[in-house]
Amino acid sequence: MTQVIVLNGGSSSGKSGISRCLQAVLPGAWLALGVDTLVDAMPASLREGDTGIGFAPDGEVVVGPEFRALEAAWIAGVAAMARAGARVVVDEVFLGGPDSQERWRAALEGLRVLWVGVRCEAGVAAGREVARGDRIGGMAASQAESVHRGVVYDLEVDTSRAEAMTCARIIAERVAAQAWTV
Which residues carry out catalysis? Answer: 36
Question: Count of residues for the chain?
Answer: 182
Determine the Cα–Cα distance for residues 105 and 97; give it in Å rounded to an integer: 12
- State which H helix or E strand residue 156 sits in: strand 155-158
DSSP string, 95-135: TTTHHHHHHHHHHTTTS-EEEEEEE--HHHHHHHHHHH-SS
Determine the Cα–Cα distance for residues 114 and 137; give it in Å rounded to an integer: 31
Is there a contact between 22 and 15 (Cβ–Cβ < 8 Å)? no
Determine the Cα–Cα distance for residues 52 and 22; give it in Å rounded to an integer: 31
